[in-house]
């Protein structure tokens, strides 16, 4: 059987909600999008999530199941003229769904061109973005849309997707693939369903014989030889930024500047890079150097003001500063551990003495009683319990091993003694 021209990921694209993988919180039996679609009326929306989780597929399914005209534009190669043409056509027919891929790449004037049509219902906008829409979608448009977050597919969902492709795709059945190990497929594709299926197809293309056994070693070998081939849709964008941030975290300014140059040469949005520097300044440096966040914030503001080509100098300056800074992920770990405990223990009551007491009744029943005002005590500190009783002495923040946080550890030891184990 001849190899089909259409990639496996496209051949396996679902056409109904029942065929769709993942996003149960949106399209499962009680999902809000399923209720909208089955009710026949959907709001304009922004689908926000990483690559390969089904944003475009979901937009197609919405149009198919509602049986309305569907128009797709890409923000990379569409402008205001294209938007206006779609809107004029939509005025002549009812219920057009306008899907805009990578809507975060539209500038303000392009997004402004959508406002009237979205507000009047001339088009139902479905925008897809991998970026936080709060940063990249203008507030006027965002206020007219619902934002739905799409999550990474789970390991079980991805494995099921592979098995389904081997079972249902005619060409894949003809190749007689047997997957013995899934780990490399899942790791290299990074949870991206499109990338996963296209990598699986490349493995099938490259191996001869009556039956192909897919192992981790085989997948790694094929992937190294064909990295560009299965990265057809620009997913390397995420590999580059991953290498960039890991180089900063690893305190290698030379590698970090190299990956920065790769992103700049590839036409990466400077604001995207600057946002990643902001995140790194807190996640990987934190209180080891509090100036890192100030530097990254200034970098983001400056990049917004001047743009390329001069923005590359500012990005390079901030990159080198963060890469050479002392590192600590203590604050990052603290909030992750605290959230995990909140999810486990639920809404424990706030101790009475630190509750707000705005009314007489609240004061009478003990709200605020025995609260000690820190500024009334020497050194602006006095020991008292701030945690729910069940969590007393639970420590989330553990200072890192660096000059600034070593000083903080000594301060916490002096203030709290043995309470938190500092």
Greatest Cα pair distance, the chain, in angstroms, is 84
Check whether residue 27 and residue 74 sit in a common domain.
Answer: yes
Q: Give residue 275's pLDDT.
A: 93
Question: Which residue's entry shows tokens 């990049």?
Answer: 303
pLDDT tier at 230, thresholds 50, 70, 90: very low
Do the Cβ atoms of 259 and 315 come closer than 8 Å?
Answer: no
Of the given ranges (162-171, 276-285, 299-308, 362-371), which has the lowest mean pLDDT? Answer: 362-371
Check whether residue 33 and residue 140 sit in a common domain.
Answer: yes
How far apart are the C-alpha atoms of 292 and 280, rounded to whole Å? 9
Residue 226 pLDDT greater than 70, yes or no: no
339 or 176, which is more confident: 339
Check whether residue 125 and residue 32 sit in a common domain.
Answer: yes
Residue 147: in which H helix or E strand, if any? strand 146-149
Do the Cβ atoms of 96 and 123 come closer than 8 Å?
Answer: yes
How far apart are the C-alpha atoms of 129 and 133, rounded to whole Å? 7
Question: What CATH number is associated with residue 364?
Answer: 1.10.3710
pLDDT tier at 227, thresholds 50, 70, 90: low
Check whether residue 137 and residue 162 sit in a common domain.
Answer: no
Mean pLDDT confidence for 352-377: 79
φ/ψ of 124, rounded to 5, equals -100, 115
Residue 363 pLDDT greater than 80, yes or no: no
Check whether residue 224 and residue 314 sit in a common domain.
Answer: no
Check whether residue 40 and residue 118 sit in a common domain.
Answer: yes
Domain presence at residue 6: no
Q: Give residue 209's pLDDT.
A: 65
How far apart are the C-alpha atoms of 196 and 179, rounded to whole Å? 13
What Rg value do the Cα atoms of the chain yield, rounded?
26
Cα-based distances in Å from 400 to 287, 293, 347? 9, 17, 29
Chain centroid to CA 239: 14
Q: Give residue 228's pLDDT.
A: 47
Do the Cβ atoms of 135 and 170 come closer than 8 Å?
Answer: no
Do the Cβ atoms of 50 and 193 come closer than 8 Å?
Answer: no
Check whether residue 39 and residue 141 sit in a common domain.
Answer: yes
Mean pLDDT confidence for 176-182: 86
Chain centroid to CA 333: 18
Check whether residue 102 and residue 211 sit in a common domain.
Answer: no
* DSSP 3-state of 230: helix
Question: Which residue's entry shows tokens 């809404």?
Answer: 347
Can you count the helices (H) and strands (E) in the chain?
A: 21, 7
Q: Which of 231, 257, 285 is the last residue before a domain boundary?
A: 231
Domain presence at residue 126: yes
Most confident of 1-5, 225-229, 368-372: 368-372
Residue 224 pLDDT greater than 90, yes or no: no
Residue burial 302-322, b: 16+ Cβ < 10 Å; e: rest: bbeeeeeeebbebbbebbbbb
Mean pLDDT confidence for 96-105: 88
Check whether residue 42 and residue 68 sit in a common domain.
Answer: yes
Residue range(s) defining the domain that contains residue 116:
22-149
How far apart are the C-alpha atoms of 217 and 220, rounded to whole Å? 5
Of the given ranges (76-80, 89-93, 304-308, 384-388), which has the lowest mean pLDDT? Answer: 76-80
Q: Give residue 360's pLDDT.
A: 73
Mean pLDDT confidence for 342-363: 81
Number of domains in the chain: 4
| Residues 251-282: tens digit of each pLDDT | 999 999 999 998 888 788 899 899 999 999 99
pLDDT tier at 232, thresholds 50, 70, 90: very low
Going by their DSSP bridges, the two strands 123-129 and 45-48 should be labelled as parallel
Question: What CATH number is associated with residue 303?
Answer: 1.20.272.10
Mean pLDDT confidence for 223-229: 59
1 or 307, which is more confident: 307
Q: Which of 118, 149, 180 is the last residue before a domain boundary?
A: 149
Mean pLDDT confidence for 200-220: 82
pLDDT tier at 233, thresholds 50, 70, 90: very low
Residues 6+ apart with CB under 8 A from 139: none
Most confident of 54-68, 228-242, 383-397: 383-397
Which tokens hold the place of 281?
């300044």
Q: Give residue 410's pLDDT.
A: 92
Q: Which of 116, 149, 182 is the last residue before a domain boundary?
A: 149
How far apart are the C-alpha atoms of 285 and 400, rounded to whole Å? 10
Check whether residue 254 and residue 272 sit in a common domain.
Answer: yes
Mean pLDDT confidence for 8-34: 88
Domain presence at residue 5: no
Of the given ranges (108-117, 179-188, 223-232, 330-339), which has the lowest mean pLDDT? Answer: 223-232
How far apart are the C-alpha atoms of 404 and 252, rounded to whole Å? 21
How many CB atoms within 10 Å of residue 267?
9
Question: What CATH number is associated with residue 166?
Answer: 1.10.8
Do the Cβ atoms of 162 and 179 come closer than 8 Å?
Answer: yes
Mean pLDDT confidence for 111-127: 89
Question: What CATH number is associated with residue 89?
Answer: 3.40.50.300
Question: Which residue's entry shows tokens 């970098």?
Answer: 299
Check whether residue 113 and residue 177 sit in a common domain.
Answer: no
> How big is the CA angle at 363 (ends 362 and 367), to the nearest 5 degrees?
75
Cα-based distances in Å from 336 to 113, 161, 249, 404? 41, 30, 18, 22
pLDDT tier at 352, thresholds 50, 70, 90: confident
Averaged pLDDT of the chain: 86
Check whether residue 26 and residue 145 sit in a common domain.
Answer: yes
Domain presence at residue 271: yes
Question: Which residue's entry shows tokens 């938190």?
Answer: 420
Domain presence at residue 421: no
Domain presence at residue 381: yes
Domain presence at residue 173: yes
Q: Could you tell me which of 107, 132, 151 has the C-alpha nearest to residue 272?
A: 132
Domain presence at residue 395: yes
Cα-based distances in Å from 6 to 12, 70, 175, 287? 10, 21, 16, 51
Q: Give residue 285's pLDDT.
A: 95
How far apart are the C-alpha atoms of 422 and 418, rounded to whole Å? 7
């Amino acid at each position: 059987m001849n190899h089909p021209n259409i990639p496996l990921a496209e051949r396996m694209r679902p056409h109904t909600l029942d065929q769709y993988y993942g996003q149960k919180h949106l399209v499962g039996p009680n999902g809000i999008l399923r209720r909208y679609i089955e009710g026949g009326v959907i709001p304009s929306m922004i689908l926000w999530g990483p690559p390969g989780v089904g944003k475009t597929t979901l937009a197609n399914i919405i149009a198919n199941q509602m049986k309305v005209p569907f128009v797709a534009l890409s923000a990379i190669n569409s402008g205001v003229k294209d938007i206006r043409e779609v809107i004029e056509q939509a005025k002549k027919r009812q219920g057009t769904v306008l899907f805009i891929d990578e809507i975060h790449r539209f500038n303000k004037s392009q997004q402004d061109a959508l406002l009237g049509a979205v507000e009047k219902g001339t088009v139902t906008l479905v925008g897809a973005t991998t970026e936080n829409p709060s940063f990249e979608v203008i507030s006027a448009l965002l206020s007219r849309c619902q934002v739905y977050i799409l999550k990474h597919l789970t390991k079980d969902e991805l494995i099921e997707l592979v098995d389904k492709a081997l079972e249902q795709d005619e060409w894949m059945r003809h190749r007689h693939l047997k997957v013995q190990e899934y780990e490399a497929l899942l790791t290299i594709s990074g949870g991206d369903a499109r990338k996963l299926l296209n990598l699986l197809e490349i493995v099938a293309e490259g191996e001869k014989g009556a039956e192909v056994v897919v192992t981790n070693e085989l997948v790694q070998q094929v992937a190294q030889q064909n990295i560009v081939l299965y990265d057809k849709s620009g997913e390397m964008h995420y590999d580059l930024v991953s290498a960039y941030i890991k180089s900063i975290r690893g305190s290698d300014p030379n590698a970090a500047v190299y990956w920065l140059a790769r992103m700049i040469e590839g036409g990466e949005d400077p604001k995207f890079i600057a946002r990643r520097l902001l995140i790194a300044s807190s996640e990987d440096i934190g209180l080891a150097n509090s100036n890192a966040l100030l530097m990254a914030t200034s970098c983001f503001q400056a990049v917004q003001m001047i743009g390329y080509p001069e923005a590359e100098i500012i990005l390079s300056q901030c990159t080198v500063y963060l890469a050479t800074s002392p590192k600590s992920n203590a604050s990052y770990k603290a909030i992750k551990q605290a959230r995990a405990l909140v999810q486990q223990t639920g809404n424990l009551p706030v101790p009475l003495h630190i509750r707000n007491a705005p009314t007489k009744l609240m004061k009478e029943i003990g709200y605020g009683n025995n609260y000690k005002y820190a500024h009334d005590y020497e050194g602006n500190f006095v020991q008292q319990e701030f945690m729910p009783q069940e969590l007393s002495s639970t420590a989330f923040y553990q200072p890192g091993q660096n000059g600034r946080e070593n000083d903080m550890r000594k301060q916490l030891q002096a203030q709290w003694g043995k309470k938190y184990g500092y």
